[in-house]
Structure 1
Amino acid sequence: MKKCHYAFGFDYEETIKNPNYMRLPLYAYYGAGENLVKPKKFNANKILKEKTKFCNYIYSKDAKERVEFYKELLKYKKIEAPGKSMNNNPPITPKNLSILLKPLQFAESFTGKYTISSLISRHFSNWRENVINYQKQFKFSIAFENSSYPGYTTEKIYHPMLANSIPIYWGNPEIKKDFNTKSFVNWHDYNNNKKVVDVIIDLDTNNKKYTKMISQPWFNKNKPNKWCNNKRIIKQFEKILKTKI
């Protein structure tokens, strides 16, 4: 803040302690918080019946912590990895491109690399929508950030929540300020890969425990947190634009 009049960042406001600073987590870019408010008649059993697969891992880049966790969880059951990192599946393919990409993906399957079809999927379709629709099949989604830092929270946790796929989260050690940690598996509650895997196995093999967790509101008290408030962000920009430097 010494080099600028106003700033947006990942740190919590109470850390920066400056009225001209506003926290703006990356997940705030991906839709209004109201989209994550759970309805009163949320049907957890119906959601569970719609889950046909165990867990997904969607990343283009390797990161030490998430690769290590992926390998640990893989000892229990297969995890689908359609991205470049740990790839073991064709890339996520939108319906409008499936006919075009099917023969290409078949040819690429012999090399084990889906480079061209992956690029086409990303750049000629709504990638965010494709990811969310893909994750709807899964009971769990590995939601590990690139790094761990207080306040650094991206779409990694937001996307699986929109898909009603329980996130397995690592990244922001203070994530409880943003979301209800009873609604997902928070690695920071255990600080150990094996302990987290044990929790996931317990949820995967016990429908009652799984539905109890997926029934929990994503937000604390089922109310969008202040960082999802677009009006708040717009108000700050208006303040900046009206300020004479």
Structure 2
Amino acid sequence: MQEIRMCIPNWFRSCSNEEEFYSSHYINLLSKKHKIIYDPINPQFIFSDSIAKECLNYDCVKILFSGENIRTDYNLVDYTLDYDYMDFGDRHLCVPLFYLLYNPLQYGTNSMDSKNRNIDTQSLRQRNKFCAILVSNGGRKRTLFRNLAFEKLNAYKKVDSGGSWNNNIGYKVSAKITWLRNYKFNICFENSSYPGYLSEKLYEAYISGCIPIYWGDTSLRCHIDSLESRPSNSATNMGGGGILHP
């Protein structure tokens, strides 16, 4: 196997030491084809989730994963993995955010199957709770649309809020999927709307068996069509840069 020296200097989940580095889901994926060497001093590649100062100090190939609704500055990084539909040769790969966050231990090994998007109506009838929402950030301008939807629906019938924002159940939910399985509906709005910007929220509603009340990705039909028509683990080009389908 080819040896590759790497480090992850900046990540939303800590990878600041060797143990955390090798426990990373993405390093494990790369290790199937390459011998990955942890090297925070003189790496050949760095992997980061933001263009932070500590990343710019490295003189090597910089790979950015962006899970936010922002555009990449290719003057600062060499390659990106994100949700954006764009064509920038081999420097960009469109990867659904949920695929990068996917953890089979948390969601189940078959949770990515398209059949899991089907709503079990019999199960819904047995659920005695109406609707749930679980978010932590509700005070920003970009979340006003979601906040308004919650207020309107909550005025009709109580919507249980189990996150930090507008918590009305008396505790913060730690096991989201298990909690959602008690409800018929789930408000799963994105923080903002943009073609391709699809986070884990909609998938978690499906996995939980809820009917999702969704707003966000304006190209959602493309995701559904591609999942149903493409083979698993394929990289294709669909009207933009490369797209990796789970």
Instruction: State the TM-score bracket (shorter-chain normalisation).
Output: 0.5 to 0.7
- Tell me the CA shift for residue 221 of structure 1: 8.3
1:30 match: 102
Rounded Cα–Cα distance in structure 2 between residues aligned with 1:60 and 1:149: 21
Query: Is structure 2 residue 211 aligned with structure 1 residue 166?
Result: yes
1:9 match: 82
Specify whether residues 224 and 56 from structure 1 end up closer, same or farther in structure 2 by C-alpha distance, changes over 3 A only.
Answer: farther
Match of 1:79 among 156, 159, 168: 159
CA contact (8 A) 2:82 2:97 kept: no
CA contact (8 A) 2:189 2:213 kept: yes
Rounded Cα–Cα distance in structure 2 between residues aligned with 1:137 and 1:57: 12
Q: Supply the AA of the counterpart residue of 1:24.
A: V
Specify whether residues 176 and 60 from structure 1 end up closer, same or farther in structure 2 by C-alpha distance, changes over 3 A only.
Answer: same
Specify whether residues 17 and 35 from structure 1 end up closer, same or farther in structure 2 by C-alpha distance, changes over 3 A only.
Answer: same
Q: Supply the AA of the counterpart residue of 1:156.
A: K
Specify whether residues 224 and 79 from structure 1 end up closer, same or farther in structure 2 by C-alpha distance, changes over 3 A only.
Answer: farther
Rounded Cα–Cα distance in structure 1 between residues aligned with 2:158 and 2:229: 34
- Tell me the CA shift for residue 222 of structure 1: 6.8
Match of 2:136 among 56, 60, 66: 60
Query: Is structure 2 residue 179 aligned with structure 1 residue 134?
Result: yes
Within a 5 Å distance, the mapping from 1:1-245 to structure 2 comes to 2-3=74-75, 4-12=77-85, 15-28=86-99, 29-31=101-103, 34-37=110-113, 44-62=120-138, 63-93=143-173, 127=174, 130-179=175-224, 220=225, 223=228, 229=233, 232=235
Between Structure 1 and Structure 2, which shows a larger proportion of strand residues? Answer: 2
Specify whether residues 225 and 132 from structure 1 end up closer, same or farther in structure 2 by C-alpha distance, changes over 3 A only.
Answer: farther
Rounded Cα–Cα distance in structure 2 between residues aligned with 1:60 and 1:83: 5
CA contact (8 A) 2:127 2:182 kept: yes
* Partner secondary structure for residue 80 of structure 1: strand
Specify whether residues 36 and 5 from structure 1 end up closer, same or farther in structure 2 by C-alpha distance, changes over 3 A only.
Answer: closer
When the two structures are superposed, what TM-score results if normalisation uses the length of structure 1?
Answer: 0.54
Deviates more, 1:46-55 or 1:167-176: 46-55
Between Structure 1 and Structure 2, which shows a larger proportion of helix residues? Answer: 1
Specify whether residues 224 and 30 from structure 1 end up closer, same or farther in structure 2 by C-alpha distance, changes over 3 A only.
Answer: farther
- Tell me the CA shift for residue 24 of structure 1: 2.1
- Tell me the CA shift for residue 134 of structure 1: 0.5
Q: Please, what is the CA RMSD of the aligned residues?
A: 3.0
* Partner secondary structure for residue 16 of structure 1: coil
When the two structures are superposed, what TM-score results if normalisation uses the length of structure 2?
Answer: 0.54
CA contact (8 A) 1:58 1:83 kept: yes
1:215 match: none
- Tell me the CA shift for residue 39 of structure 1: 5.0
Rounded Cα–Cα distance in structure 2 between residues aligned with 1:176 and 1:19: 25
CA contact (8 A) 2:177 2:208 kept: yes
Q: Supply the AA of the counterpart residue of 2:102.
A: Y
Rounded Cα–Cα distance in structure 1 between residues aligned with 2:213 and 2:121: 20
Tell me, which stretches of 5 or more residues in structure 2 are unaligned? 1-72, 237-246
- Tell me the CA shift for residue 37 of structure 1: 2.6
2:24 match: none
Rounded Cα–Cα distance in structure 2 between residues aligned with 1:47 and 1:159: 16
* Partner secondary structure for residue 160 of structure 2: coil
Q: Supply the AA of the counterpart residue of 1:22.
A: L
Tell me, which stretches of 5 or more residues in structure 1 are unaligned? 94-126, 180-219, 234-245
